Amino acid sequence: MSAKPVSLKVLAARLGLTVGTVSRALNGYKDISPVTRDRVKRAADEMGYRPNQTARRLSLGAPETVCYLMPRYSSSIAQPFVAQLLQGLGEALSKRNWDLLVSHAESSKEELAQIDRLVRSGRVGGLVISRPLKNDPRIRLIQDLKCPFVVHGRTASSDDYAWYDVDGDAAFVEAVNHLVGLGHGDIAFVGAPLQYQFAQDRLNGYERAMLGNGLTLTREYTQIADFSDEGGEIATNMLLDLPKPPTAIVCVSDTMALGALAAIRERGMVPGQDISVIGYDGLKFGTHANPPLSTMAQPQAHAGRRLGDMLLSIIDGDDPTKHQELQRAYLLRRKTDGPLHLAEAGSIVSEREELQ
Amino acid sequence: MSAKPVSLKVLAARLGLTVGTVSRALNGYKDISPVTRDRVKRAADEMGYRPNQTARRLSLGAPETVCYLMPRYSSSIAQPFVAQLLQGLGEALSKRNWDLLVSHAESSKEELAQIDRLVRSGRVGGLVISRPLKNDPRIRLIQDLKCPFVVHGRTASSDDYAWYDVDGDAAFVEAVNHLVGLGHGDIAFVGAPLQYQFAQDRLNGYERAMLGNGLTLTREYTQIADFSDEGGEIATNMLLDLPKPPTAIVCVSDTMALGALAAIRERGMVPGQDISVIGYDGLKFGTHANPPLSTMAQPQAHAGRRLGDMLLSIIDGDDPTKHQELQRAYLLRRKTDGPLHLAEAGSIVSEREELQ
DNA sequence: CTGAAAGCGCTTACAG
DNA sequence: CTGAAAGCGCTTACAG
């Protein structure tokens, strides 16, 4: 179908040289005379020669290709970070003219099979995975395969591989402290299933900060739900149905926080006044939420670039454990965090009701 | 770095056969005795043999790889459709065990260079591009390279290649007709730069529907801005500053519509009551806008799958022009479209002011 | 039914 | 400085 590209053979024939010589000239070998080197390069340009990468990689024994394993969706809200991450990865890889493959699997089992095929068939020389589970079978498999890899996120025992993560624990400490500073004490947590390490990290931060502020943890104030806006909405409804609803909620993601806002508005309350909500991610569309969502934001722009650079270094032989990078999230105040006041009046009412 | 995989050679040696025989057995050639075929397959399984794809593809002369050219961002709102599209493409390709590459360029010039390298170096056997320009240089280049490709969208002269698109013209006719049915006549258009064909298509639909309803087109009611939420906000501010502002606005995308809502709210007006807004895309996050955004939605889920299937068929030799698929968008009413009433009162006031 | 051989388009020691 | 040759790991006519 495609037009036949010019090969080293025809280029060599045109020049009256052997393919070996032409190859060395093109690859800048020192033992080629400057004059023929120039002659070869000029001819290559003229004829539009492009080395066949498949042949080159077979000869080199290196696929010069990296694969990103796309996260499976638990939500219908597309994962906005994927496009950015791919862009960053691509930038890092293109400096060396490596290729970026993407792979998507329907199930965990399928994903493992795909990883196995991908590396054992010599198609990829490195992998990057996102959002690891606490004890992620992919990581064990990749380690068994001895394939270089980097993780976007961390697992529980994250000491023996390379990763790039944002400190979710610290972020939730900051979020809770901020709310306490605003006068809140009844602070609830809306989270995702704890098989995800990031969900556990953020819960840990929440709990640590609650205790650190002398507040008590209750089962009812910790709502784990599906990782989606609907999940956030359901979890928040559970909280609002409590005899003593919280006056503030921290959410494990902006997407879940949007669901929380919906649940709150549904009851005629206004987020940021009657009840505070803080999300996590710092996604742009939070500025268009109703009202604009306060959130723990992260410098997501160069996650992909960093991960790509790390992976390349490791493939070059670097010790993976030297590449562990923890970013810090920062509080981005928009309109859904506010001081306890109307909410306080509400809680006084319910205390009165309790007295009766 | 990676563990050494087992090759055909060692597998053959283990079985006391030649590599040719083992290869044919594995590939289901008819002229291999059933007993050795089984013996070979069993041994391959046991030893965990995976054919080296690089070698296989070199031998076959086919890269079995397709590349998606990621759209460049004109907006900081990540493009949510990319992840979905990649997923669909991946599904279609994985049926045949093909790989999906992604490529991202900073500039148009770079992108053209990348396309050239990608196909001339034999790395990809097909391409898919999104959001073509009216007269897209990428398409001409790819055609010159005689590389199979499909387009997510269309250009002005879209008759000689394969594409999958949503009928933006018809969608805007429907949106305008709907608004006219609600009593609106002063309907404005917030659009993206017209070098994008989709921007032109949607503008065409708007204009056609306006004229079809006996309404007049004015320069002031057609605002072209940066393809982003900020762009939508700026454009809408221009409209609202007009002596006679529109009572309804159709926006070329949900993202721009979010900006429009922001501009409207900023002036203390409420979208859907004081002024109607209809977006385009049907993105999920529109449900969380303030208020929830009415939009022309599209069945985006299987665009990727269809594009992948089309591309594969074309690579197999199908006539590209047989694969041109036009989807229909549908109106998804949420809360930002409403009848003309408060808005009408407002326009009477301004008419009175004009009399003075 | 299986083996021996050529070839895919490169790279890279090894001679000269 | 350049040529001749082997090799990367497969596939596939061609013999026998």
DSSP secondary structure of A61-109:
T---EEEEEPPPPSSSS--THHHHHHHHHHHHHHTTT-EEEEE--SSHH
Residues B176 and B217 sit within 8 Å (Cβ to Cβ): no
Nucleotide nearest to A22 (CA to C1'): D2
Neighbours of B91 (CB within 10 A): 18
* Banded pLDDT at A69 (limits 50, 70, 90): very high
Task: Tell me the C-alpha distance between B305 and B311, whole Å.
Answer: 10
Task: Tell me the C-alpha distance between B93 and A103, whole Å.
Answer: 10
List of chain A residues whose C-beta atoms are within 8 Å of the C-beta of residue B46:
none
Strand ranges (E), B207-356? 222-224, 248-251, 276-281, 294-297, 324-327, 330-332
Q: Does A343 share its domain with A266?
A: yes
Residues A308 and A88 sit within 8 Å (Cβ to Cβ): yes
Judged by CB atoms closer than 8 Å, whether chains meet at B50 and A121 is answered as: yes
Kindly report the CATH number assigned to the domain that includes residue A26.
1.10.260.40
Q: What is the pLDDT of residue B4?
A: 77
- A56 within domain boundaries: no
DSSP string, A165-220: EE-HHHHHHHHHHHHHHTT---EEEEE--TTBHHHHHHHHHHHHHHHHTTPPP-GG
Least confident range of A232-236, A288-292, B74-78, B250-254: B74-78
Residues A5 and A50 sit within 8 Å (Cβ to Cβ): yes
- A2 within domain boundaries: no
Residues B235 and B205 sit within 8 Å (Cβ to Cβ): no
Overall number of domains in chain A: 3
Q: Does A288 share its domain with A311?
A: no
User: Is A349's pLDDT higher than 80?
Assistant: no
Selected residues 224-253 of chain A with any CB under 8 Å from a CB in chain B: 229
- A58 within domain boundaries: no
Q: Go through A179-197 and write b for each residue having 16 or more CB atoms within 10 A of its CB, e for each that does not.
A: bbeeebbbbbbbbbeeebb
Q: Closest CB to B1: pick one of A99, A285, A315.
A: A315
User: Is A311's pLDDT higher than 70?
Assistant: yes
Task: Tell me the C-alpha distance between A68 and A104, whole Å.
Answer: 9
Those residues whose C-beta lies under 8 Å from the C-beta of residue B25, and which sit 6 or more positions away, are B17, B32, B36, B37, B40, B41
Q: Does A318 share its domain with A184?
A: no
Q: What is the pLDDT of residue B74?
A: 53
Q: Which of B325, B322, B250 is nearest to B293 (CA)?
A: B250
Q: Which of B190, B183, B194, B187 is nearest to B216 (CA)?
A: B187
Q: Does A276 share its domain with A145?
A: no
- Closest protein residue to C2 (Cα–C1'): B21
A282: left (phi over 0), alpha (psi -120 to 50) or beta: left
Euclidean distance between the first and final Cα of chain B, in Å?
A: 83
Task: Tell me the C-alpha distance between B231 and A89, whole Å.
Answer: 28
Q: What is the pLDDT of residue A302?
A: 85
Residues B245 and B353 sit within 8 Å (Cβ to Cβ): no
Kindly report the CATH number assigned to the domain that includes residue A154.
3.40.50.2300
Q: Does B312 share its domain with B196?
A: no
- B286 within domain boundaries: yes
Q: Does B21 share its domain with B147?
A: no
Digit-coded pLDDT (tens) for A193-219: 999 999 999 999 999 999 999 999 999
Q: Does A141 share its domain with A215?
A: no
* Protein residues contacting strand C, judged by Cβ under 7 Å: A 5, 7-9, 19-20, 23-24, 26-27, 49-52, 55-56, 58-60; B 16-21, 24-25, 29, 31-37, 55, 58-59, 61
Those residues whose C-beta lies under 8 Å from the C-beta of residue B216, and which sit 6 or more positions away, are B210
Nucleotides of C under 7 A from a protein CB: 1-13
Please compute the mean of the pLDDT values over residues A58-73 and round it to a whole number: 92
Name the average pLDDT for chain A.
Answer: 91
Digit-coded pLDDT (tens) for A77-95: 556 788 889 999 999 999 9
Q: Write out the two tokens for B177.
A: 């007709």
Q: What is the pLDDT of residue A351?
A: 40
A165: left (phi over 0), alpha (psi -120 to 50) or beta: beta
β A330-332/B65-69 pair status? unpaired
Residues A239 and A249 sit within 8 Å (Cβ to Cβ): yes
Q: Write out the two tokens for B151.
A: 């387009």
Q: Does A78 share its domain with A187?
A: no
Q: What is the largest CA-CA distance in chain B?
A: 103
Q: Which tops the pLDDT comparison, B63 or A355?
A: B63
- B249 within domain boundaries: yes
Task: Tell me the C-alpha distance between A299 and B250, whole Å.
Answer: 33
Helix, strand, or coil (residue B101): strand
Q: Does B273 share its domain with B249?
A: yes
Q: Does A139 share its domain with A41?
A: no
Residues A166 and A155 sit within 8 Å (Cβ to Cβ): no
- Closest protein residue to C8 (Cα–C1'): B59
Q: Which tops the pLDDT comparison, A34 or B174?
A: B174
- A60 within domain boundaries: no
Q: Go through A106-118 and write b for each residue having 16 or more CB atoms within 10 A of its CB, e for each that does not.
A: eeeeebbebbbbb
List of chain A residues whose C-beta atoms are within 8 Å of the C-beta of residue B103:
90, 100
Distances from the Cα of A34 to the Cα of A17, A295, B124, angstroms: 15, 60, 34
Q: What is the pLDDT of residue A84?
A: 85
Task: Tell me the C-alpha distance between B11 and B5, whole Å.
Answer: 11
A244: left (phi over 0), alpha (psi -120 to 50) or beta: beta
- B306 within domain boundaries: yes
Q: What is the pLDDT of residue B2?
A: 53
Sheet holding A324-327, edge to edge: A324-327, A162-166, A149-152, A126-130, A65-69, A99-103, B99-103, B65-69, B126-130, B149-152, B162-166, B324-327
Residue B114 CA, chain-centre distance (Å), reads 20
Task: Tell me the C-alpha distance between B71 and B69, whole Å.
Answer: 6
Distances from the Cα of B10 to the Cα of B15, B26, B34, B39, B44, angstroms: 9, 14, 21, 15, 10
- Crossing angle (nearest 10°) for helices A8-15 and A19-26: 100
Q: What is the pLDDT of residue B82?
A: 86
Range of the domain at A273: 168-298+332-355
Cα angle: B345, vertex B347, B348; to 5 degrees: 65
In percent, how much of chain A has pLDDT > 70? 93
Residue A208 CA, chain-centre distance (Å), reads 24
Q: Does B181 share its domain with B283?
A: yes
Q: What is the pLDDT of residue A295?
A: 98
* Protein residues contacting strand D, judged by Cβ under 7 Å: A 16-21, 24-25, 29, 31-37, 55, 58-59, 61; B 5, 7-9, 19-20, 23-24, 26-27, 49-52, 55-56, 58-60
β A294-297/A330-332 pair status? antiparallel
Please compute the mean of the pLDDT values over residues A180-204 and round it to a whole number: 96
- B315 within domain boundaries: yes
Residues B76 and A284 sit within 8 Å (Cβ to Cβ): yes
pLDDT, averaged per 10 consecutive residues of chain B (356 residues), comes to 79 92 93 91 93 96 96 64 89 95 94 95 96 93 96 89 96 98 97 95 98 96 95 97 97 96 97 97 92 92 92 95 96 96 48 37
Q: What is the pLDDT of residue A315?
A: 95
Q: What's the residue count for chain B? A: 356
Residues B206 and B172 sit within 8 Å (Cβ to Cβ): yes
Q: Does B280 share its domain with B174?
A: yes
Q: What is the pLDDT of residue A355?
A: 36
Q: What is the pLDDT of residue A82?
A: 86
Q: What is the pLDDT of residue B81?
A: 80
Q: What is the pLDDT of residue A77?
A: 55
Task: Tell me the C-alpha distance between B43 and B25, whole Å.
Answer: 11
Judged by CB atoms closer than 8 Å, whether chains meet at B70 and A50 is answered as: no
Task: Tell me the C-alpha distance between A75 and A87, whole Å.
Answer: 22
